């Protein structure tokens, strides 16, 4: 996990740890959103994630997801 400042790095680590714990708790309790719900929640992050990708194939995949994202919002 990278960041520009120590404070930002610590915040990101805490967020990741919290997400990990929430995921494991949901799995243990049997409550996990479907894949479609995950895509909808991640759609707004695609541009920033794409900019951090070094692999061209991954960038193309991110572009494809961004272009079809309208289907997730409308359907």
The domain spans of the chain are: 1-32, 33-75
pLDDT digits (tens, 9 = 90+) for 46-73: 888 888 999 999 999 999 988 887 776 6
Tell which wins on pLDDT, 26 or 14. Answer: 14
| pLDDT, position 67 | 85
| pLDDT, position 69 | 75
| pLDDT, position 75 | 55
What is the distance between the alpha carbons of residues 6 and 11, in angstroms, rounded to a whole number?
9
Lowest mean pLDDT among 34-38, 43-47, 54-58: 34-38
Average of per-residue pLDDT values in the chain: 83
């Amino acid at each position: 996990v990278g960041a520009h400042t120590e404070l930002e790095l610590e915040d990101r680590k805490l967020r990741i740890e919290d997400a990990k714990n929430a995921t494991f708790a949901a799995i243990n309790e049997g409550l996990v959103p479907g894949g479609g719900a995950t895509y909808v929640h991640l759609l707004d992050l695609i541009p920033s994630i794409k900019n951090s990708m070094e692999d061209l194939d991954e960038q193309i995949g991110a572009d494809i997801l961004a272009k079809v994202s309208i289907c997730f919002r409308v359907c």
